[in-house]
Amino acid sequence: MYSCHWPMKRILTALILILAVFALIFFGQLWMITLAAAIVAELATYEYLKLAAVGAESHGAQLRIPIWWMALGTALAFVVTLPNFPVEAQLPVLSAITLALFAWNGFRAPLIQVLPDTAQGLFGLIWIAYPLTLIPLLWKKEDGPALVVFLMVCVWAGDIAALYIGRAFGKHKLAPRLSPGKTWEGSIASIIGSILAAALVVWIGDLLTIRGNLLLHITEPLWQTLILAGILNIAAQLGDLLESAVKRGAGVKDSGTMLPGHGGILDRIDALLLATPVLWFVLLLKDTFSLGRF
């Protein structure tokens, strides 16, 4: 019974989320995108904290990262990436907040937990909060909305292709230790799916541009866009696998129960958590070596 109902629930949740994301990208303002990304980051770091706590318990220990610290750290991650925040203070703020958690743990946590707890608090910021701060930064670039749509479509199309092609034709296990359901067939379908979806985005963007609508305008040469789609897809799949590794390390199946039919927030954004910094890095490299811009 349940297994018959969940796909509907899942598809409905996905549709609502996708529409909300597109509405934000095309009709939102910078502060709305930033706020939405910050809320997602707060929810995801909260789930992360629970995951890390379950992981610590299976070591026979109790995690001592205060929720207020994680909330403050995540909020600060957004503050330090605001356009008017001095860039040279980003690392000092990261260092200061980490040292604050270190001091808190030093006086509160069992000694054996001081190092791992402090380290895991910091890692939550770099793994989850930082990539999400890049979404508003991407959006406010030239052709920013098109860039964010491109990123989302690559990740989603790859995910869908992997699911359906993998289920139909999947035979050879990709990484059974991390995620037993994934196959090489699904993974390769995922890459092809992302590249095709990226081509579709470019094609629609070109059609709109001819009609004078620059909403989906992408100036990058087509071949670069398609290679980028492949790279982002591989990053997204890796992000998915690594989140699975963390969940399995903690011994849980879903990161949370916030989204009906989808598990937790972290399960939904795991692919994005790797694809976004990889995209940001590629753009930085292209800028640095003047390889043209997106």
Q: How far is the CB of 250 from a second copy (least distance, A)?
A: 8
Q: Give the rounded distance of the alpha carbon of 282 from its chain centre.
A: 16
Q: What is the contact mask toward a second copy in residues 86 to 115, using x (rule: CB under 8 A)?
A: xxxxxxx-xxx-xx--xx-xxx--xxxxxx
Among 25, 36, 37, 122, binds a second copy (CB under 8 A): 122
State both tokens at 137: 């930064």
Report the chain's C-alpha Rg in angstroms: 20
Nearer to a second copy, 110 or 292 (CB): 110
Range in contact with a second copy (rule: CB under 8 A) among 3-11, 25-33, 207-215, 276-284: 276-284
Give the whole-angstrom CA distance, residue 202 versus residue 113. Answer: 50
Rounded Cα–Cα distance for residues 247 and 242 (Å): 9
Residues in the chain: 294
Query: Of the two residues 14 and 119, which places its CB atom closer to a second copy in the complex?
Result: 119
d(CA 141, CA 143): 6
Least distance to a second copy from the beta carbon of 168, Å? 27
Mask for 57-76, x = binds a second copy (CB under 8 A): -xxxx---------------
Residue 76 to residue 257: CA distance in whole angstroms: 26
Shortest distance in whole angstroms from residue 98 CB to a second copy: 5
DSSP state string for 25-90: HHH--HHHHHHHHHHHHHHHHHHHHHHHHHHHHTTT------HHHHHHHHHHHHHHTSTTS-GGGH
Q: Does 245 bind a second copy (CB under 8 A)?
A: yes
Cβ atoms of 167 and 136 closer than 8 Å? no
Residues 127-166: x where in contact with a second copy by CB under 8 A, - otherwise, as a string: x--xx-----------------------------------
Total binding residues toward a second copy, as defined by CB under 8 A: 58
Instruction: Return d(Cα 198, Cα 193) in angstroms, integer.
Output: 8
Confirm or reject binding of residue 238 to a second copy (CB under 8 A): yes
Residue ranges in 198-237 that form contacts with a second copy under rule CB under 8 A = none
| Contact footprint for a second copy (CB under 8 A) | 51-52, 55, 58-61, 86-92, 94-96, 98-99, 102-103, 105-107, 110-116, 118-120, 122-123, 126-127, 130-131, 175, 177-178, 238, 241-242, 245-246, 248-250, 274, 277-278, 280-281, 284, 288
